[in-house]
Structures are given as C-alpha cells and as structure tokens.
Amino acid sequence: MSLAVSISVNRAGHICGLTKRGGSGLDQSVILDMISVAKHVSETLMNKLDSKISAAEACEDDFSIVYGSLFKVEEKT
C-alpha cells in the first residue's frame, strides 16, 4: 500500500497542517522525522522566496526611477 503525508509549516516554524492519505500507519518516530525535515525545508524555501521577492521589488523600484520621469505630469501653476 502507498501513503502520502503533507505537512504545512508557517514562517514561525509552527506546524499549521498535517494530513495523511493511505491505509497503512506510520511509526511516531517517522512522523517526527518528517516534521523535522518539513521545518528545515520550509525555512530554506522561505529564505529563498524572500530573496527573490526583495530582488523583484528592487527591480520594480529601479524601473520606476528610470521610466517614471518619462510619465511625470507637471502641475500647472
């Protein structure tokens, strides 16, 4: 039989969801190992995502500095 386990971990490292599908059971030590891996992977993934988001936001800022002046509307006095 096959089974699948999904573990959701939030930014604080807390488990916010755990589901198991399939008919067979799991030993407690296996589940604890899975949780440990999920916490490690989620931290690594979130750090990479934060870096990508920061880089994208920096590019947007650069874009608006360079091209923003092209569309600048001057007020009439």
Q: What integer pLDDT is reported at residue 74 of this predicted model?
A: 58
- Tens-digit pLDDT profile for residues 3-51: 899 999 999 999 999 999 998 888 999 999 999 999 999 999 999 999 9
Instruction: Parse the chain into domains and list their residue ranges.
Output: 3-71
Global pTM reads 0.65
What span, in angstroms and rounded, lies between the C-alpha atoms of 69 and 77? 19
The shares of helix, strand and coil residues in the chain, as percent rounded to the nearest 5, are: 55, 20, 25
